[in-house]
Amino acid sequence: MRFLLILAAACTAFAASPVVEKVEPPNWWMGHTINPVRILIKGKNFNGAQVIPPTGMDAANVRVSASGTYAFVDLTIPKGIPPSDYELVVKTNEGSAKARFRINPPLRNNDRLSGFTSGDVVYLLMPDRFANGDSSNDDPAISKGLYDRSNPRGYHGGDLQGVIDHLPYLKDLGVTAIWMTPIYDNSNRWGEYAGRKVTDYHGYGIVDYYGVDEHLGTMQLLQKLVRDAHALGIKVIQDQVENHVGPHHPWVQDPPTPTWFHGSMAKHLDENWQFWSIADPAASKDLRRIVTEGWFGNTLPDMDQEDADVSRYQIQNTLWWLGEAGFDAIRQDTWPYVARPFWHDWMAAIKRQFPKVNVIGEVLDGDPATVSFFQGGQTREGVDTLVDTLFDYPVYFKIVDAFGKGKSLEEIPKMLGHDYLYPNPQLLWTFIGDHDEPRLLNSPQASIASLKLAYTCIFTIRGVPLLYYGDEIAMKGGDDPDNRHDFPGGWPGDPANAFTQAGRTPEQNEVFEHVKKLAHLRSSMPVLAQGSTLNLVLQDQQWAFARRLRDEVAIVVMNNDSKPATVEVPLEELGLSASVHMRGLLGVIADVTASGNKLQVSLPGCAAEIFAASK
């Protein structure tokens, strides 16, 4: 009996000893703009703990969660300390545990992380739906059973290796930057949303802000992807999500602080999507709180950035990904749903450490007054969010109306006429579709011709053109998840391989070659990417405009009617000679010569031409 009592006491003492399970961030850099770095240690039995730093370092502000499962500590990294692996010691009266932490050499910011410009062509892809380069991670042991290509909401096996394998395809197309949906580690089990069985293949159901999802690969593979892309002159943009985590994140049941989330799983506000109320001077505080504190879809736990520890955690996490993976820029999800003061602090921290990195925020609304309210470079509600640019959803919806529904083409330049609302409209992203919207070809009056015309539009107007994977080969698809089909040829055994010319149908090749021509024209003609715009003809279904940059002039003429049309384009304001000869660049019509300061352009139905001239 005495032996059993001694054994029981020993087991109790052992159980009460601290246990370290995770350290976030796992590493940091010498000479960083954030120093000290706030470390969050996850484990067990931390009550009453002190954190002893490595020799030569200082640890301060040690705080332990009420559950004893989290400890915060501010670690100061002194100048001159050798880069190496170090150990912090979490010590209580019952024992101690080691928390490993690596200090890296200083970051080199001048030869990397270059940001995007109006000269870029961005390609949005969902890694799980793009290409399967490594079948060994299709059904990982830690998340067994989520792989099912027949289920539109299951994992399909696409991964980072698949993206690496097809970087040459993107280079050939003319892509200069890729945006991948989030690569964070997501839930390891099936979930349910709106009564449907779902997985988080899309990346937005985060369970680990410092992990790469096992279905996609590893951090080492992600770093290789970025290096290989950079070697081809392709930038990589990270999709980040500060607003919320997934419902299966460990924090949901055991948050590091009482105010880590807005509310709890049992009691929280339900997001109502009315983020326009943030800009509404008549909106009550309660209406605004629903936007910034409500749980997205009434499902995704909303992070509380007013909690200083949450704010510090997320700022450090953003800087860690940039430094660790080498991303060039950030696409930030659900921008309006986070309180503006946090965005100011977050953006300022990015610019201090990585001055060239820029950020695009998602504001999904068709009203330019609402969208521009969230633009940085201006003070609203006493705060400048500092965000570099936003998605041009107002123009997107008019593009779908014109080229997908046969509505007035004039509505596009009319919407572009609101550019005075933005400090830098040249950096707005223009697009014909993304992972949240039906593909253009699913619109009632869309055709291959109108798809090509829509592409001509976004490659010749101001802004940064964005391609959604598969649109360059005329993929079809309705609402999510029908707009997220696997790219044909990305999987062994696919009946056709649209990554190759031989594997594409004539229709697919027609669209691909058109997009490729536009992308390479834009990269070779700075006037298309950087020039100012002058509207010359505005009619219900015809539009002509010029892009001007120094001595270069490009004139774009569009006919959105199903019938042929002749457009008379006045040239007086362009400074060109009265009989200037202009080259047609798309091969739709022959070169033309002006007569009497006017250009007569006869276009077939649903077609466009680009003309170039020098003053």
Is there a contact between 41 and 68 (Cβ–Cβ < 8 Å)? no
As given in the structure block, the two tokens for residue 535 are 């509207």
Task: Say how far apart CA 70 and CA 47 lie, in whole Å.
Answer: 9
pLDDT digits over 128-180, tens only?
999 999 999 999 999 999 999 999 999 999 999 999 999 999 999 999 999 99
Element (H, E) at 310: helix 308-325
C-alpha 473/C-alpha 164 separation (Å) is 20
Share of the chain above pLDDT 90, in %: 93
Model confidence, pTM: 0.96
pLDDT digits (tens, 9 = 90+) for 467-495: 999 999 999 999 999 999 999 999 999 99
How would residue 9 be classed by pLDDT, with cut points 50, 70 and 90? very low
Cβ neighbours around 533 below 10 Å, total: 17
The correct CATH number of 531-614 out of 3.40.50.2300, 2.40.50.140, 2.60.40.1180, 1.10.3720.10 is: 2.60.40.1180
Q: What is the pLDDT of residues 407-463, one digit of tens each?
A: 999 999 999 999 999 999 999 999 999 999 999 999 999 999 999 999 999 999 999
- Is the pLDDT at 11 greater than 60? The verdict is no
Q: Helix, strand, or coil here: 102?
A: strand
Q: Where are the alpha helices (DSSP H) in 84-212?
A: 127-130, 160-165, 167-173
Structure tokens at 251: 């924090």
**Mean pLDDT of the region 95-106:** 97
Helix/strand/coil for 311: helix
The H-or-E segment that residue 610 falls in is strand 607-614
Q: In the predicted model, what is the mean pLDDT of residues 75-99?
A: 97
Query: Can you give the pLDDT at residue 162?
Result: 98
Looking at residue 275, what DSSP letter applies? G
Specify the fold of 2-104. Answer: Immunoglobulin-like (2.60.40)
User: 399 vs 379, 413, 440, 454, CA distance in Å?
Assistant: 30, 10, 9, 7
Domain ranges of the chain: 2-104, 122-524, 531-614
Q: How far apart are CA 48 and CA 64, in angstroms?
A: 7
40-71 pLDDT, tens digit each: 999 999 999 999 999 999 999 999 999 999 99
pLDDT tens by residue, 551-584: 999 999 999 999 999 999 999 999 898 889 998 9
d(CA 611, CA 593): 11
Residue 220 pLDDT > 70: yes
Q: How far apart are CA 328 and CA 123, in angstroms?
A: 14
Backbone φ and ψ of 582, nearest 5°: -125, 140
Distance of CA 221 to the CA centre of its chain: 19
Interval 206-221 mean pLDDT: 98
Give 38-63 as a 3 state SS string.
EEEEEEECCCCCEEECCCCCEEEEEE
Q: For the ranges 59-63, 403-407, 502-506, 591-595, which has the lowest average pLDDT?
A: 591-595
- pLDDT for 108: 83
Taking residues 344-366, report their average pLDDT: 97
Cβ contacts of residue 466 below 8 Å, gap of 6+? Answer: 122, 123, 124, 179, 429, 430, 431, 434, 458
Q: How confident is the model at residue 189 (pLDDT cuts 50, 70, 90)?
A: very high
Q: Is the confidence at residue 6, as pLDDT, over 60? A: no
Pairwise CA distance, residues 527 & 406, whole Å = 29
CATH of domain 122-524: 3.20.20.80
Instruction: Extract the tokens encoding 520.
Output: 């390479």
pLDDT of residue 195: 79
pLDDT at 306: 97
Nearest of 247, 313, 323, 325 to residue 23 by alpha carbon: 313
The predicted pLDDT at position 578 comes to 85
CA-to-CA distance for 343 and 323, rounded, in angstroms? Answer: 19
Please give the mean pLDDT across all residues of the chain: 95
Give the pLDDT score at 15: 57
- Residues belonging to the chain: 615
Q: Tell me, what's the pLDDT at 111?
A: 57
- Assess whether the region 122-524 and the region 531-614 belong to the same CATH fold: no
Do the beta carbons of residue 351 and residue 304 sit within 8 Å?
no
